[in-house]
């Protein structure tokens, strides 16, 4: 397996630091977006870290990156707007390593909202972990997209628990909710569950 540090170039010229693992053979690829940088989120967050290390072992190429203004990435935080350009650039790179299988945008918390706000014709679907849907003023663009969306919502999430998420996405297209049991928004002790559900979703798409 190759693992390397890479730079990715957003459409507006901002350079982002990223890390990429490409297993051989591989059957899918993901681009992983991290939680809110103003609350300590970066690509080494516990949930992102668990996904980044476990997915390649299952034959899935994994790319994680720091949003603009975080770590070694250029630029400044833009409240989730320009961050969509960051994820779009990550998706563009990850698309080179699908192995003819599915390509999925994966995001946790703030990163989940950013992911759901990005579309690309090459995407097979979205996997949103603990998306704080109640904090979004309007439904994300992916809500009306026909491609599958899997929302992994923590049972005791402080921002949008699984019970509330069901009402918020009732009119979304092709959307399923999986409850992360006995977990709050920070998913402590349940990152393995998240990994397993993400792999299962990718297998459904393959």
Instruction: Give per-residue pLDDT as tens, 67-121.
Output: 999 999 999 999 999 999 999 999 999 999 998 899 999 999 999 999 999 999 9
Number of domains forming the structure of the chain: 1
Q: Which long-range contacts (CB under 8 A, 24 or more apart) does 171-175 make?
A: 171/143, 172/139, 172/143, 172/144, 173/143, 173/144, 173/145, 173/146, 173/149, 174/145, 174/146, 174/147, 174/148, 174/149, 175/143, 175/148, 175/149, 175/150, 175/151
**CATH number for the domain harbouring residue 148:** 3.40.50.1820
Residue 3 scores a pLDDT above 90: no
Sequence-distant (6+) residues with CB within 8 A of 9 are 15, 16, 89
pLDDT in tens, 21-63: 999 999 999 999 999 999 999 999 999 999 999 999 999 999 9
pLDDT value of position 2: 66
Residues spanned by the domain of 87: 2-205
Average pLDDT, stretch 168-183?
97
């Amino acid at each position: 397996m190759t693992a390397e540090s890479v730079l990715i170039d957003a459409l507006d010229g901002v350079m982002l630091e990223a890390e990429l693992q490409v297993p051989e053979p591989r059957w899918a690829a993901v681009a992983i977006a991290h939680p809110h940088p103003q609350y300590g989120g970066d690509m080494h967050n516990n949930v992102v870290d668990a996904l980044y290390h476990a997915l390649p072992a299952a034959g899935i190429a994994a790319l994680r990156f720091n949003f603009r203004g975080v770590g070694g990435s250029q630029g400044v935080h833009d409240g989730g707007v320009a961050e969509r350009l960051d994820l779009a650039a990550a998706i563009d790179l990850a698309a080179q390593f699908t192995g003819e299988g599915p390509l999925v945008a994966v995001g946790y918390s703030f990163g989940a909202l950013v992911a759901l706000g990005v579309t690309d014709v090459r995407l097979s679907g979205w996997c949103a972990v603990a998306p704080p849907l109640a904090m979004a003023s309007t439904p994300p663009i992916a809500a009306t997209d026909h491609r599958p969306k899997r929302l992994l919502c923590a049972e005791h999430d402080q921002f949008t628990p699984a019970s509330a998420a069901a009402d918020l996405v009732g009119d979304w297209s092709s959307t399923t909710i999986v409850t992360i049991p006995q977990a709050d928004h920070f998913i402590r002790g349940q990152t393995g569950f998240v990994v397993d559900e993400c792999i299962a979703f990718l297998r459904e798409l393959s």
